[in-house]
Amino acid sequence: MKLSESIRKGVLHSVSGLIINKFKFKKRRDTFFFDDIGLDYVKLLEENRHSTKLREISHKWGTMLFKSALPDAVKRLPYNISCNVMVRDTFVNLGYMTDMHIEKHDNRIKLTTKEETNVKKIGKNNLHIGMFMGMSTAFFDSDIEVVSVECNSSGDCIYNFRLLDKKYNPNMKQKETYNKLNDIPHFNGANIKEAIRTGLFSMKNGKIYFRGELITAMENTLFHLFSNEGIMLSSLRKISYNYFSSIVKEASSDDKLKLLKNLLQIMGWGLVKFAVDNNTILMTIDYPPFGLQAEKDNWQFLCEVVCGYLWLINKEFTLKSLKVSGRRLLALYSF
């Protein structure tokens, strides 16, 4: 089932402020995000000697993602069914790649992929390496190390890993806590289906685009991990500004804020409001997405991206404060 069919049939369930992913495994809360903003940040980390930390973050994310998603019945299946059929189909349906295959020989793992979308854009990267490490850790219940990785310009990759004689179990929220935090009352408002119907979003080859730029569905814990590490987060302002400046043509400040509010809500980031007072803008998000990690939830990554968008109004805006009260996020911007 392609992404477009999944949205139509409610497998990827969207209401205002919330997206629930029901693909194959246990349902979870997902968000859509602007693909090129994330990839430009990943490239920046790679270019500034943060590759090792990027891989560690992604390994942690991938491990939690797949450990939380796998029902016991799936864990008992042979990996050639759980990985090579169920996970492969999910990745292909979401538009991440066109094929994936995994082989295990003793403690060696060989994972091959075809046409990875992000690899075609930025080449071999530690975001994907770490994520596949996490997937393997979850399926084979073992810590893991990289032996070699080879990718070509078509996005075809061969990942060789070695399973280690030790466990890797990052601390996670209890399932009941995660579900309670990510529950959201039903509110009337735009959703993915409506955004496609009205032309705000478009679909091509099963992928979703905002004004010609790809947006991708993903589990949001990665953003909390990036935020808690705090590596080069202020650089997201310029990345975000460069991204939006070429596609946001709304003339007035009010229209720019209305567009951003709609984008964030439709893409699953919660119920968003902006309050403007002279040289300040207060962004309030009720029911933002909480992560799987046991460590604190942290939305600074998102708020820095929003700051870059606000530069379309005034390039002097900075993020002055970020507070969380219960399930309400308050970010104050001023110049």
- pLDDT value at position 81? 86
d(CA 254, CA 136) in angstroms, rounded, equals 47
Q: Which residue has the higher pLDDT, 217 or 159?
A: 159
With H, G, I as helix, E, B as strand and everything else as coil, classify residue 54.
helix
Note the pLDDT of residue 23: 47
Architecture of the domain spanning 51-170? 2-Layer Sandwich (3.30)
Residue 106 phi, psi (nearest 5) = 55, -120
Residue 207 has pLDDT above 90, yes or no: no
Position 29 pLDDT exceeds 90? no
Task: Tell me the pTM.
Answer: 0.91
Token digits of residue 245: 């400046």
| For the chain, domain boundaries | 51-170, 184-334
184-334: same fold as 51-170? Answer: yes
Is 184-334 in CATH node 1.10.150?
A: no
What's the farthest any 2 CA atoms get from each other in the chain?
A: 65
Comparing CA positions, the residue from 118, 44, 20, 55 lying closest to residue 304 is 44
The answer on pLDDT for 276 being more than 80 is: yes
pLDDT tens, position by position, 34-79: 999 999 999 999 999 999 999 999 999 999 999 988 777 777 788 8
What confidence tens digit (pLDDT) does each residue in 81-120 have? Answer: 888 988 899 889 888 999 999 999 999 999 999 999 999 9
The more confident residue out of 128 and 191 is 128
Give the range among 65-79, 253-267, 286-300 with minimum mean pLDDT. 65-79
More confident residue, 218 or 226: 226
